[in-house]
Amino acid sequence: MNLPEAPAAEQLSDLLARCALRDQRAFATLYQFSSAKLFAVAVRITRRRDWAEDVLQEAFVNIWNHAAGYNSAKSAPMTWMTAIVRNRALDWLRRPREIEIDEEHEELMASIPDESPGPEELLRRSLEAGELAECMKTLTEEQQRSVTLAFFYGLSHAELAEQMRKPVGTVKTWIRRGLDRLKGCLEGLGR
């Protein structure tokens, strides 16, 4: 499949509206336009290609089934679709597993520092411009790191604590205060 140029939000909104009317060709185009970006989100959180494929599949079935619920006045189409992919990926990570949890968990933890680009790099890249960038700078280093680790890897409080080698309570507080500060700052900028 050739990767088309990144489409405008307006075009994606239009495609979603047509999906709501059960237009399957619009759905195919939507997939073509957005799947690579969304697959990256799923790969990042699940950290396994085969799992990410399942997550992407699940997410697009959701997108098709709930397209009528998309409201372009409330969120940009990529924001809406990314949220669906993230939620499916988080459900996948948190799904009940009978065995291998420890082993898998070890692997998961071990894989994090080697991932490239790392969360700090991603944070830097995503924040080269924009309001979120300005506001992220108001967080302490620990707050920033815990928020971005959680966002990009879908780590729970317990996993974050392990990853950062700090007590769960400490990590929870970093996240809580980090998010508070972020919200306050963004609202101050009118968001």
- In the complex, the residues that contact another protein under the rule CB under 8 A are 1, 3, 20-25, 28, 31, 35-37, 39-41, 43-45, 52-53, 56-57, 60-61, 64-66, 68, 74-76, 78-80, 82-83, 86, 90-91, 94-96, 117, 122-123, 125-127, 130, 132-133, 147-148, 150-152, 154-158, 160, 175-176, 179, 182-183, 186, 191
Cβ pair 120, 148 in contact under 8 A: yes
What is the residue whose two structure tokens read 């809406």? Answer: 80
Among residues 55, 71, 64, the alpha carbon closest in space to that of 30 is found at 64
* In the complex, minimum distance from the CB of residue 13 to another protein, in angstroms, rounded to a whole number: 15
Peptide bond into 117 cis (omega under 30): yes
Contact 174, 180 (CB under 8 A): no
- Between 77-93 and 9-20, two packed helices, what is the crossing angle to 10 degrees? 70
Query: Phi and psi for 150 in degrees, rounded to 5?
Result: -65, -45
State the minimum distance, in angstroms, from the CB of residue 9 to another protein.
Answer: 12
Q: How far is the CB of 100 from another protein (least distance, A)?
A: 16
Please report how close the Cβ of residue 160 comes to another protein at its closest, in angstroms: 7
| Residue 64 CB, nearest approach to another protein (Å) | 6
**Residue 2 DSSP label:** P
Cβ-based nearer residue to another protein, 66 or 166:
66
CA 92 to CA 44: how far, in whole Å? 13
Structure tokens at 159: 């996993």
